[in-house]
Amino acid sequence: MLAWLSPLEPNVQHQNVEANRVANVGSWLLGTEQFQNWCYGIAIMNLTKRRYFATAALELERHTLGKRCGLWKNKMK
């Protein structure tokens, strides 16, 4: 049974996933009007409502979407 379970090495698992990443997979989402409105706060100005798009707004800073938007360095202070 122990051989069946994967070892708890999240850094190795992350590197494997990152190595197999396909470029531009989520580009369609980043170009949608809904995402742009959310990203730049045109339609939704309330931080509480923004949390529904991502699982946790505070964790978004470390996520690619937050980095693409530049939310946490410029707009959210």
Q: What is the pLDDT of residue 75?
A: 47
Domain ranges of the chain: 51-76
Does residue 60 carry a pLDDT above 60? no
Dihedral of alpha carbons 18, 68, 77, 49, sign:
negative
74 vs 2, higher pLDDT: 2
Q: What is the pLDDT of residue 76?
A: 46
User: pLDDT tens digit string along 4-47?
Assistant: 676 678 888 888 888 888 888 888 888 888 888 777 775 555 55
One-character DSSP codes across 5-73: SPP--HHHHHHHHHHTPPTTTTHHHHTSHHHHHHHHTSS---HHHHTTTSS-GGGGGGSHHHHHHTIII
Q: What is the pTM of this model?
A: 0.35
Amino acid at 23: A
